[in-house]
A and B are shown apart, each in its own frame.
Chain A
Amino acid sequence: MNYPELGLREAVDLVRQGQLKAAEIVESYISHIESTDGKIRAFLTTTFDRALARAREIDGKKEKGRLAGAVVAVKDNIVTRGIRTTCGSRILENFVPPYDATVVERLEAEDAIIIGKTNLDEFAMGSSTENSAFFPTRNPWDPERVPGGSSGGSAAAVAALEAMAALGSDTGGSVRQPAAFCGIVGLKPTYGRVSRYGLVAFASSLDQIGPLTRSVEDCALITSVMAGFDARDSTCAEIPVPDYSADLREIPGRIKVGLLGETSLKGLHPEVAASYLRIQEMLAGLGLEIVHLDFPSWEVALPCYYIIAPSEASSNLARYDGVRYGLRIEAGELADMYVKTRTAGFGSEVKRRILLGTFALSSGYYDAYYVKASRARRAIAGELKAAFDRVDFILTPTTPEPAFRLGEKQDPLAMYLQDYFTVGASLAGIPGLSIPCGLTTDGLPLGLQILSPHFSEARLFKFAFLLENNIKFKNNMYGINNRGRRKNEN
């Protein structure tokens, strides 16, 4: 039996019923990762010994947790006690955190097993994982192409069956875009749904931790465990968390779906546009009511994001000064030590964003850029809120194009345009879920993004489950079909 083929839900059920040993699953994953990851390079650090020890502990337990035996990879900007956490940066290359992120604590409390830490664009800044200070990760569907980013290592690990699920972080699309590029499911939860405690901050008003999984059901299950109030994150909402994976088959009432009007779709890759039209036909076939929406502010969401996110980053990244942890380049005086340390420790995209944010916050430009962007953010959020008075869900392509080749986007601005469809939900704080919706003629996966109102994850998962079962996308990675998904369809 090749255990990496097992879906998360299926594996957890077997382990909980005592029909399968978590240690056997972990051993099978270790050998699969050892034979596969040389080509993919999803992991920065693997934690095989720790994972095996945890698995044996779980096998010996009478009462097993809700995620017993789930093999999970964690993006390397989420801190793990005793396990190196680099953020894909030289400045944290040897950083071993003395505490766990809340999400890690919660997953492990339910007996999930962490198999390793995954590669990312440095400090989650990028859309291809090429900005990692260590090495790029490759797309399992075509190793000449990027897996997306910044959670590219997490997405590639799940797509290549090197993990049942992975944690990522999404600031402007960093879970959803790599999920789309790698043919898997990825959720950016509502801002405040999941604790950010232990997520290394990039842009604090936008960052959310989200899961990347092989199916909507797995995504719902793992979100149920991750989400909920945490006193250690003051922006974490005190709103109860239902079991999102229960009653997924329930159709969430009469559904009205909002689709983007033509103006929002101009300049799209032709196969992305064609796929979006096919989805529209499918929705009509399901008898759902379709409303075409226009978002005048959508055009400026991207520039708005690229003022706010770098501004917050320039402030958050001021903490890397070589004093208390991380890299230090010695100098005779303190101020020189700061400059030398930061100059040696940060890569070029991180420096670019720090400078951009410094510019937007600097005297003389603050009102024209940062204040203007903050007001635009309110306008964009208001427009989405008004749209949700008319429809239950909004569907968009997740990305403007399928996975591109490594080295293809040298111009930073061309890379920023990747986030065209994803930043709206980030600025408004609403959830966004990407599900795979088909392949291009070259065999590259495409993603469909589903947006819904604040804290409506329960309905979002039900609707996504309905679409998933009608799209019938297959993860054909290495000729292995996703058995968990097939089972769910019956």
Chain B
Amino acid sequence: MLSMKVDLEHLSRLACLELTEEEKDLLPAQMEKIIDWVGQLSSLATGEEEEEASPGFTLRLQEDEIQPSLPQAEVLVMAPDKQGDFVKVPRVLKEK
């Protein structure tokens, strides 16, 4: 595996995070060190086995039935902002 300069700006945009000045100082070196370290994995020869983890037991599909959900009023209590029976959020689209 390759050692590379981590493009933190790109990653933080993908992760919806902003970095503080301190994090901008510390994180690049930390991340590169961690990524180099996990890169040891490339030394392990692995076949083309299925990559999905298997739980080791049979899972059962459930019937597609309507079940009661949590009471709407109790769930809405936790919403930071609401209007009527709806969660309220700021404008979704930017103005031109």
Does B84 make an interface contact (CB < 8 A)?
no
Beta-carbon contact of A362 and B46 below 8 Å: no
Known contacts A307-B38, A343-B18, A413-B34: A375-B51 contact under CB 8 Å: yes
Instruction: Pick the residue among A324, A355, A360 that contacts B12 (CB under 8 A).
Output: A355
A409 to chain B, nearest CB (A): 13
Within 8 A of A (CB), among B45-59: 46-53, 55-59
Instruction: Count residues of chain B with CB under 8 A from any CB of chain A.
Output: 57
Does B83 make an interface contact (CB < 8 A)?
no
Does A54 make an interface contact (CB < 8 A)?
no
Beta-carbon contact of B40 and A354 below 8 Å: no
Instruction: Pick the residue among A205, A333, A360 that contacts B91 (CB under 8 A).
Output: A333
Beta-carbon contact of B91 and A324 below 8 Å: no
Beta-carbon contact of A191 and B56 below 8 Å: yes
Beta-carbon contact of B92 and A192 below 8 Å: no
User: At the interface, is chain A mostly helix, strand, loop or mixed?
Assistant: helix
Instruction: Pick the residue among A332, A351, A377, A378 that contacts B23 (CB under 8 A).
Output: A351
Q: Encode contact with A along B20-46: 1 for CB under 8 Å, 0 otherwise.
A: 000100010011011101111111101
Beta-carbon contact of B44 and A300 below 8 Å: yes
Beta-carbon contact of B90 and A369 below 8 Å: no
Does A139 make an interface contact (CB < 8 A)?
no
Q: Encode contact with B along A279-323: 1 for CB under 8 Å, 0 otherwise.
A: 000000000000000000101100110110000001000100111
Q: Encode contact with B along A112-154: 1 for CB under 8 Å, 0 otherwise.
A: 0000000000000000000000000000000000000000000
Does B66 make an interface contact (CB < 8 A)?
no
Beta-carbon contact of A378 and B49 below 8 Å: yes
Closest residue on chain B to residue A314 by CB atoms: B15
Beta-carbon contact of A358 and B14 below 8 Å: yes
Point out the residues of chain B lying under 8 angstroms from A314, CB to CB.
15
Does A255 make an interface contact (CB < 8 A)?
no
A323-B89, A325-B80 known, 11 other contacts, Cβ within 8 Å: A98-B78, A237-B57, A303-B39, A332-B90, A334-B90, A334-B92, A339-B17, A351-B23, A355-B31, A359-B11, A369-B38
Q: Which residues in B have some Cβ–Cβ distance to A below 8 Å?
A: 1-2, 6, 8, 11-12, 14-19, 23, 27, 30-31, 33-35, 37-44, 46-53, 55-60, 62, 70-71, 74-75, 77-81, 87, 89-92, 94
Interface CB pairs A-B, < 8 A, 8: A303-B37, A324-B79, A339-B16, A352-B34, A371-B51, A373-B38, A413-B34, A454-B56
